Chain A
Amino acid sequence: MRALLLCLSLLLALPAFAVQPDEVLDDPALESRARAISRVLRCPVCQGENIDESNAPISRDLRLYLRERLVAGDSDDHAVQAVVDRFGEYVLFQPPARGVNLLLYLAGPGMALLALILGIAFIRSRNRPEEGPAALSADEQARLDRIMRD
């Protein structure tokens, strides 16, 4: 038992693990909003973790701050903006689709469109030889008709 207590005290000194039970809000609707938001906010000191998964103390502070804002009646956007005001746009896992970031958002659809056009052009150009020689001129057609009639 002594050893267990020793181990417990050791554990308590170590970083806490993601969302703790004491952070969870009583109102399930508010809590689920908080969870959804904290999945798109990046832990400022970790390597690519969101604050919902992160064990870092600062992520815990951010989670608590976010909940405070929500309890105070902020909308989702306002709560996120409050965090961004403090830590910069770095904490947003999805950069806002404004300004130069539009390039990021349009790159995929633009590339898809370009690839489709090129693909269709390629298939068309490949097919031309199969269509055989150019259509008969009016003159030739008339001759052919004459022959066929005979």
Chain B
Amino acid sequence: MAVTSAGATRADNAPARPRKNRTFLVLNIISIVAGIAIWWGLSLAGLQFPTPAEVVSAAWKMIQDGTLATDVGASLGRVLAGFALGSIAAVIVGFVMGWYTVARGLFEPWIQFFRTIPPLAMLPLVLVLMGIGESPKIFVIFLAAFLSCVISTYQGVVNVDRTLINAARVLGAGDGTIFGRVVVPASTPFILVGMRVGLGSAWGTLVAAELLAAQAGLGHRMQSAQLYYDLPTIFVGIIAIGVLGLIMDRLLMIAGNKLTAWQENR
């Protein structure tokens, strides 16, 4: 009975969805347009803001002379390297912690301790130890991504439904099969949530790291523009950071939805 009525509710809701989505989209567009209009109004009213037109022309100049591409490339390269390394390490360590009680006991205090330290607070130390090349920045990004992702991976492994593990065992599966064919897919949703949080954290850490110590990148560009009171360039930097962060988050979300389409309540 419960199954039938749940099915009926879902069917009733289905046609209402697109309409709701469209209203939502219209509201989104209105909000964006209004926001830009207010910004424009404020800058014309004598606030120190550059107008949207000035920002667009600054962006255009940066695109034409290639600085925007160089900066975006430098920033993206760092964040992707740090994020990829951090996520891979987090998944491995998270699985080991979830699977072996001994590993959990050994890793947990360190992870809990470093989780309370903002990765950026490690930057001075890392700069002293690793010099001023790419590696210290990638390292702090790695740390940010790793610490955000590792706990949720570990939670995913610990929370795997016992019944599913039992079902695999009575079908003749050994530990290896249970790990590969039950624990890994069952914890995928947790890993993906961790990765999304990790990406946000990595991106935030990146820009701050570049503000402090870099020769290229969006953060560095904004830092040097600050010296020349070049507000349009700073705006271009802020907008680029926001847009890139949004795109990466959405890509990860789409990939995640594809990978976890099997989940019941979606």
Q: Do A and B come from one complex?
A: no
